[in-house]
Amino acid sequence: MPQQRYLCGLIQNMHTIKLKVDTIVRETPDAVAIYFRDEKGEIAHFWPGQFLTLVMQLDGKSARRSYSICTSPTVLPMIGICVKRVAGGLVSNYLVDKLQEGDVLEVLEPYGSFTLNYKMAQLPTLVLIGAGSGITPLMSIIKSVIDKPEAPKVHLFYGNRNEQSIIFKEQLEKLIDKYPGKLEVTHLLSQPSSSYAGMKGRIEAGIIQALCNEKQLFADVSANYYICGPDGMMHAVLGLLDSQGIPADRVHKESFFLAHKAEPVAEAPAAGGGDGTHQIKIKLDGQVHDLTVKPGKYILETALEHGLDLPYACTMGVCGMCRAVKVQGEMLIEEQEAISESEIEEGACLTCVSKPLSNDLVIDYDAR
Ligand SMILES: Cc1cc2nc3c(=O)[nH]c(=O)nc-3n(C[C@H](O)[C@H](O)[C@H](O)COP(=O)(O)OP(=O)(O)OC[C@H]3O[C@@H](n4cnc5c(N)ncnc54)[C@H](O)[C@@H]3O)c2cc1C
Ligand code: FES
């Protein structure tokens, strides 16, 4: 039996869960699926489409990285993720190359709003559009509905470079065979082998429009669209759905990374003629904390430096874990992908990409 290794960060107070690596499956040369056993049963439930955040210490650095869950909640206490290597990346390369069965990882509880409520009475038609590792949350959604007799057919449009880079290829084929008529997968390969007989190309607006027209999906007023993949692909598909008049509440997206950060935003003006620092309040676990935020500093960054035990993962406005509520005052929220304009208007904010603009700013974590 392999010796247990503990690859855990030391997190004061924050609730973390230890998961034992049960099985590692090499999906492609650059991606592994990692299946954990939740031995203490600490994860009672999650929604298909949510992610786990790994809390690790590697090369003397603490690191948090989020990975979407690829399994259905029905197979708990087993729970899986899939990691694709990012060139030069600290955590993904470790997980793809060095993690071993029997290791124990520390994670934060499942989180995320890219979800399907599969317990609803009437499941919608599902149109899933993904590329590369973007298949991972879509796989959890597929597995969660495919055995439900009342669920309509699931359409998956899945982009990859070539036959060898298709993550979950075998699992998808098995699901198609096991549940005839329930899942239709259209692969799009940008650089396939010469013997490949399927569709060639990338996921872009024209191809997806043609496929949706062919399958009469735009006319289905129940159809819900779930999109996950690289920035360019997501923007193309979101633009298409918008141009087709698909209402925003039927369109769901998950970003893994923000390739293009906005141009540097002008620094917040100094309040009351001061030096640009702001005095703000943070409500957390029933207590109010007074913080001094220096010019150019983000609220989350400052709060962590002050020792506050706040939830976070990506620190770049993608995962949504640092979401809180602005009770009063003014703040600048820089480019982010995790909350909508209407949510911001209702008071939601992401502290990892936000800076104070006034001294009366109050942020409430308990109301989130
Ligand atoms: C909600 C959420 C869910 C996610 N789910 C998955 C998943 O299911 N599978 C998966 O493989 N990854 C997923 N990710 C991405 C994952 O969290 C890490 O960002 C990724 O593994 C890179 O981490 P790293 O430590 O290897 O790279 P880092 O050391 O953080 O970065 C190395 C370099 O690569 C760049 N970089 C970082 N991330 C990416 C990226 N995703 N694409 C391109 N360039 C990048 C950085 O800017 C840096 O230059 C998810 C991210 C989020 C926010
Ligand atoms: S920590 Fe991920 S959005 Fe703020």
Q: Which CATH architecture has domain 271-364?
A: Roll (3.10)
pTM: 0.92
Q: What is the pLDDT of residue 30?
A: 97
Q: What is the pLDDT of residue 14?
A: 60
Test site for ligand 1: of 65, 82, 336, most ligand atoms within 8 A of the Cβ: 65
Q: What is the pLDDT of residue 39?
A: 94
Average pLDDT, stretch 213-221?
96
Among all bound ligands, the one having the nearest atom to the CA of 87 is 1
Among all bound ligands, the one having the nearest atom to the CA of 131 is 1
Q: Taking the mean position of all CA atoms in its chain, how far away is CA 253?
A: 9
Would you say the CB of residue 232 lies under 6 angstroms from ligand 1?
A: no
Measured N-to-C along each axis, helices 169-178 and 135-145 cross at an angle, to the nearest 10 degrees, of 20
Would you list the DSSP string of 145-170?
A: HTT-TTPPPEEEEEEESSGGG-TTHH
pLDDT at 209 over 90: yes
Kind and range of the H or E run holding 193: none
- Whether the CA torsion 238, 227, 131, 202 is positive or negative: it is negative
d(CA 208, CA 339): 25
Residue 100, number of CB atoms within 10 A of its CB: 11
Amino acid at 288: V
Q: What is the pLDDT of residue 59?
A: 85
Q: What is the pLDDT of residue 116?
A: 87
* DSSP-based three-state secondary structure for 80: strand
Locus of tokens 């399994």 = 71
Would you say the CB of residue 314 lies under 6 angstroms from ligand 1?
A: yes
pLDDT at 282 over 60: yes
Test site for ligand 1: of 257, 337, 352, most ligand atoms within 8 A of the Cβ: 257
d(CA 110, CA 234): 23
* DSSP-based three-state secondary structure for 352: helix
Domain boundaries of the chain, sorted by first residue: 6-111, 126-254, 271-364
Strands 17-28, 251-254: pairing is: unpaired
DSSP 69: B
126-254 maps to CATH 3.40.50.2300: no
> Residue 122 Cα, ligand 2 centroid: separation in angstroms?
32
Locus of tokens 């620094």 = 267
pLDDT at 161 over 50: yes
d(CA 176, CA 178): 6
- Whether the CA torsion 157, 163, 168, 169 is positive or negative: it is positive
Strands 154-160, 126-131: pairing is: parallel
Question: Residues 245-278: pLDDT tens digits?
Answer: 999 999 999 999 987 654 444 554 555 446 789 9
- Mean pLDDT estimate for the chain: 91
Measured N-to-C along each axis, helices 205-214 and 231-243 cross at an angle, to the nearest 10 degrees, of 50
Q: What is the CATH number of domain 6-111?
A: 2.40.30.10
Q: Taking the mean position of all CA atoms in its chain, how far away is CA 206?
A: 26
- What is the Cα Rg of the chain in Å? 22
Instruction: Produce one character per residue of 35-74: b if its CB has 16 or more CB atoms within 10 Å, e if not.
Output: bbebeeeebeebbbbbbbbbbbeeeeeebbbbbbbbbbbe
